[in-house]
Each structure stands twice: as C-alpha cells, then as structure tokens.
Amino acid sequence: MAVLGASGSGKSTLIDALANRIAKGSLKGTVALNGETLESRLLKVISAYVMQDDLLFPMLTVEETLMFAAEFRLPRTLSKSKKNARVQALIEQLGLRNAAKTVIDDEGHRGVSGGERQRVSIGIDIIHDPILLFLDEPTSRLDSTSAFLVVKVLQRIAQSRSIVIMSIHQPSYRILGLLDRMIFLSWGQTVYSGSPSQLPVFFSEFGHPIPETDNKTEFALDLIRELEGSPGGTKSLVEFNKSWQSMTKHHQTTTEAERNGLSLKEAISESISRGKLVSGATNTNPNPSSMVPTFANPFWIEMATQSKRSFLNPNTT
C-alpha cells in the first residue's frame, strides 16, 4: 500500500503513527490488526521500519553488510549456517546477486548504485522477515528505473506474505502497476483509499474524469492541490470519499485471516509457520508479546548496535 499526498499532507506522520514511532501522548486513537488492538511491544516484534536516510558502513560489501545485520538482529541460538542461508536468500530476493561482493561506497572505490544502496538498506531491516514493513519514501532521490526496481522488490516482499506500507512521492505509471492499494491524504485527511484501478472511476463519479493520456496519480495530486487552494478546500472530496467507502465496503476483498476467522495470535502463528519472523523458535506461550526475546536480541543489544553503527559511520548523526 502506498500513501500519497503533497508535502505537509501527513504521509510520514501516518507511517510513523502506524509504526508507533511518535511519542506517547502526542496522538489519540488505536492501531488495530485483524480487528484487535496491536500492542506496541508486539508491533516491534512483527514489524520493521526503513528510514529515508540509511546507516550503512561504506567499507563493507553488500554481503558483509547483510551478514553483519544477521549477526546482530537474528537470535544467538540460530546457527551461523542458517544466518548465512538467510542472507543469501535475502540477496536473491533483493536482486543484489551481481552486487553482493561490491563495497557500499568509499573514497577509494566506486560502490553500489543508489537503487542498490536503497535495497541494501531495506535488507538490513527485513533480515528477520517481518510480517509488517513500513517505509518512509523508499524511492526518494532515485531515478525512475531505480525507483521501479526498489518497488518491484517491495512487491516481492509483499508476495512473500508481508504487509508493506510506504509513503511515496508521485509514482510513475510503471510503479502504479505494482501497487495493490493507495491512500491519498490532504492536510491529514483521507481523500481516496482503494486500488489504483478504481482511481478513474472514483474521480469520474466525483465529477473530474481522468483523461486517458494523463498519469492517474499526477492528475489526482494536481486536483487535490487545486482544491486545497480553493475556499472550501478538499472538504467536498473528503466527504465524497466517505460515501464512496460506504458504497464499496461490501465489495472489498477480505484477507485470508478474516476469511478463516483467525485471531491475531493465530494469524501471527500461522505466518511464523510459513517462514516469517526468521528464528526457528518453539515458544508456545499463548501471549504473543512473550515472543519478543525469541525473535530478536534484547533491546540493549539493539541499542548498542545502533550506537556502534552511528559511531563507525561519521556521516550520520
């Protein structure tokens, strides 16, 4: 799912809110998964967040970078061979096989491309194969081809039974074809939520049909900006979206978990049984939050890792 909107529309705020990266007390409301409130402790276990700016060691190769992440982020109980197998599988998934032995970047060597660098950055955060993946503008500063390849990787991650939610700025026509769902925001309010294929129908019924020769997302964003500058703002579009959602709600496809009537705990357990959350653990505690130390290092090790990464990379703060 892609979250779109002009600067200041609330894209990054929404992603941060869903990922529980905003200070407590600053927001109201709850985040639910499978209709159940998602605890912050459990969210940390099953999710990953990819920042817009990366923290990569310039002197390491792609393979070494991912292996370093595996050593620190996967459980100590997982054997070296299994960690290496996870890294090799991830290299294939990210489309980085030809760049596996290439250094990230330093003054003496020409490193990976911008698109490859972004895919490595994604790889570090999905080393444990999370169920939920949040990304803040992963295509920022990339050319159209590199941006397409990054989103293509994200599509493969989604097809591996992960939920991928990202903010993105004006996706190309090719990227649009990779998306399952879109949300357009204006001043923090939803003005469209649905599949890319329904976008022309939505705006046609709103009274602003999209010309066949136009890029659908560019047309939508331009119209939203135009409405934002009008006296009534986007209120009419917000209200139309609410009525549209009510009319189309019964046509929306339910998830497999909803069809099977699974609880959140059961859905997570099923995802784990299918290979998500790399661990090989056998924790049977009925409380999902008890899985935290099983699937990741204790938080003090994670904090030490982040500090070490920042210390060794002088270009980060």
Contacts with 201 (C-beta within 8 Å, 6 or more apart), sequence order: none
Q: What pLDDT does 262 receive?
A: 83
Q: What pLDDT does 205 receive?
A: 95
User: Has residue 316 been placed in a domain?
Assistant: no
User: Has residue 312 been placed in a domain?
Assistant: no
pLDDT along the chain (317 residues), means of 10: 92 94 86 90 93 86 95 89 95 95 78 92 94 94 92 95 92 93 95 95 96 92 94 95 85 56 88 80 46 46 47 46
Q: How far apart are CA 181 and CA 179, in angstroms?
A: 6
Q: Are residues 84 and 36 in the same domain?
A: yes
Residue 49 φ then ψ, to 5°: -130, 125
The reported pTM is: 0.84
Q: What pLDDT does 316 receive?
A: 45
**What's the residue count for the chain?**
317
User: Has residue 257 been placed in a domain?
Assistant: no
User: Has residue 313 been placed in a domain?
Assistant: no
Q: How far apart are CA 126 and CA 140, in angstroms?
A: 19
- In this structure, what CATH number is given to the domain that contains residue 271? 3.40.50.300
User: Has residue 78 been placed in a domain?
Assistant: yes
Beta-ladder partners of 165: 134
Q: Are residues 284 and 217 in the same domain?
A: no
User: Has residue 85 been placed in a domain?
Assistant: yes
Q: What pLDDT does 50 receive?
A: 94
Two tokens, residue 260: 């099977």
Residue type, 213: T
Beta-ladder partners of 193: 183
Q: What pLDDT does 255 receive?
A: 54
Straight-line distance from the first to the last Cα atom of the chain, in angstroms, rounded to the nearest whole number: 30
Q: Are residues 170 and 113 in the same domain?
A: yes
Q: How far apart are CA 39 and CA 34, in angstroms?
A: 13
Q: Are residues 111 and 202 in the same domain?
A: no
Do β-strands 36-37 and 32-33 pair in parallel, antiparallel, or remain unpaired?
Answer: antiparallel
Q: What pLDDT does 104 receive?
A: 92
| Contact indicator for 54, 118 with CB cutoff of 8 Å | yes
Residue 241 φ then ψ, to 5°: -60, -40
Residue 218's domain comprises: 193-252
Q: Are residues 58 and 15 in the same domain?
A: yes
Total domains, the chain: 2
Q: Are residues 246 and 269 in the same domain?
A: no
Q: Are residues 126 and 247 in the same domain?
A: no
User: Has residue 115 been placed in a domain?
Assistant: yes
User: Has residue 94 been placed in a domain?
Assistant: yes
